[in-house]
Structure 1
Amino acid sequence: MPEWLEVIVRTIFAVVVLFLLTKLLGKRQVSQLSFFEYITGITVGSLAAYISLDTDKTWHLGLIALVVWIAFSLGIEFLQMKSKKARDFLDFKSTVLIKDGKILEDNMKKERLTTDELLSELRKKDVFKLADVEFAIMESDGAINLLLTRENQPLTPKHLGIQVAPEQETQAVIMDGEILDDALDILGLSRKGLQEKLAELNLSVQNVFLGQVDSYGELTVDLYTDQVEVPKLEEKPQLYALLKKCEADLELFSLSTSNEEAKNMYEQCSLQLQEMLRTLKPLIQT
């Protein structure tokens, strides 16, 4: 076999073997790497290159080394899952950089992190003022996570004592002109129901590049033809959202008033509206 053809064959073989072994290592190998996973990635790449380009008769030794290294990596990952001491030894420990709003200079020096680098990482988290940070930690993979001071944390319904209904994940029901039955099952929607929604938009499944249904049952689509504008059927979801807002407002009014009679009135109205929403939900979301 000519040398150039042998290199092509070995390269294809190395790519296939490397792909299968990397799949065996799992998603962590292609995510934010730990210290040992970083070493593994470099070594595996070097061994794959050796298998591709080495034209003598010992290229198979590179394949053996590759398999042994992957097996060793799997063993290390298994050990890390079973033992915290092994995780602490093989990977870097997390390091606190900011505590109670104060920078820990000794820990900064330990991680060889400059003030400019710390401020840059804070800006990536949309934080431009150090005083807004209560706590920051550098994880074992080098990422910096932080906790804002209480007054700078986003206001949520929980802070107001308001209970909200759980939000269902938006599902892609049409992709590349094909209906995804698994997504329809999750939503409790039939093909016939989806076809009716498309008919209201004067569309067929074949026209749709991507179609999604949200928790309110609203269908949004992206067509293959970018020049065509799709009308949005928003009346029913908007009505449902408005009623939910009214319910939340009534709960907020009941919490904010000190008048027991008014509080009871708001609570009763909120309960009545909740019951009405449960009755109307199947009709609003179809």
Structure 2
Amino acid sequence: MPEWFEIVLRSILFIAVLFLMTKILGSKQISQLSFFEYISGITIGSVAAEVITGVDGNIIHGLIVLVLFCGITYGVDVLSLKSKKFRDFAEGKSVVFIKDGKIMEDSLRKEHYTIDDLNSLLRKKNVFNAADVEFAVLEPNGDLSVFLKKENRPLIPKDLNLKVANEKVPQTVIMDGKILDDPLAEANKTRQWLKTELDKLGVALDNVFMAQVDSYGQLTVDVYDDQLKLPTSQQKPLLMSMIKKSQSDLESFALQTDSDEAKKMYLKNAKKLQEAIDMLEPYLKS
């Protein structure tokens, strides 16, 4: 058997074995590595590379080593799930770097981090001034979790006592010019509705790269032709404008009439429409 062909066969075999092992160990092995998983991953990769390229090596021995490391890593993961103490030993513990706005120099030294390293981690969180941070903790995977001081946190609607509409995950109803029926049904829409919306935008189905329906039932479209400018949907702003006009007309009628009974009716319904406007504004805002 030619040497190059044997290397090809070994490569295919070990790719399949490594893929199977990764599936067994789970996605954690390729996302957030603990100390042990880091060592295990390097060892498994090194053994696989050596057996693939070392034609004179014993392939069975290489497979035994891979299976052994896979079993040990899997066992460590199982024990980590059952024991907090073992998990802290194998995966490490979170370390506080900033507490009550004060940098913990001893923690930095213990983890061999410099102030430049800390500033770099903060910048990755879009924080450029350590004085803005109330609390920061280094996670076992090396990521830094940051909690800003109250005056430096961005405002949210809850801070202003504003009501906002609940949103659902947008449904992708067209991809690569093809209609996806399951997401379309999930959005409670039909193919006829989709065709009508595309006709309003003047877009052919074949020219649609991706289209999504948001939680309010509005269609957004991205086309293959980047030079083509699509009109913005005006349905919600127009509806809000009509309701506000109706409310304004009722108040105007109340001022124009000489009948106390009619005036009272107009004002009563104008108040109801204003309540409806306040309720619908988060949904119909442009």
Q: State the distance in 2 between where 1:128 and 1:185 align.
A: 46
User: In the TM superposition, what is the alpha-carbon distance from 1:179 to its structure 2 partner?
Assistant: 1.9
CA deviations on 1:254-283 (whole Å, 9 max, x unpaired) are xxxxxxxxxxxxx977643367x49xx8xx
Match of 1:35 in 2: 35
| Range 133-142 or range 123-132, more displaced | 123-132
Q: How many residues align?
A: 258
User: In the TM superposition, what is the alpha-carbon distance from 1:228 to its structure 2 partner?
Assistant: 2.8
Q: State the distance in 2 between where 1:111 and 1:269 align.
A: 62
Is 1:273 aligned to residue 277 of structure 2?
yes
Is 1:169 aligned to residue 173 of structure 2?
no
**Alignment check: 8 A CA contact 1:50 1:59 kept:** no
User: In the TM superposition, what is the alpha-carbon distance from 1:227 to its structure 2 partner?
Assistant: 3.2
User: In the TM superposition, what is the alpha-carbon distance from 1:243 to its structure 2 partner?
Assistant: 9.8
Q: State the distance in 2 between where 1:153 and 1:129 align.
A: 13
Match of 1:255 in 2: none
Identity of aligned residues (%): 48
Match of 2:78 in 1: 78
TM-score normalised by structure 2 residue count: 0.81
**Alignment check: 8 A CA contact 2:51 2:58 kept:** no
| Range 134-143 or range 28-37, more displaced | 28-37
Larger Rg: 2
Q: Could you say if the C-alpha distance between residues 163 and 33 of structure 1 is closer, same or farther in structure 2, counting changes exceeding 3 Å?
A: same
Q: CA RMSD in A?
A: 2.8
Superposition pairs of residues 79-228 of structure 1, within 5 angstroms: 79-228=79-228
User: In the TM superposition, what is the alpha-carbon distance from 1:59 to its structure 2 partner?
Assistant: 1.1
CA deviations on 1:204-227 (whole Å, 9 max, x unpaired) are 332211112222322222222333
**Alignment check: 8 A CA contact 1:98 1:136 kept:** yes
**Alignment check: 8 A CA contact 2:240 2:277 kept:** no
CA deviations on 1:50-85 (whole Å, 9 max, x unpaired) are 331222362122112212222222222122122211
User: In the TM superposition, what is the alpha-carbon distance from 1:170 to its structure 2 partner?
Assistant: 2.1
**Alignment check: 8 A CA contact 1:216 1:237 kept:** no
Letter in 2 for 1:273: I
**Alignment check: 8 A CA contact 1:132 1:148 kept:** yes
User: In the TM superposition, what is the alpha-carbon distance from 1:184 to its structure 2 partner?
Assistant: 1.7
TM-score normalised by structure 1 residue count: 0.81
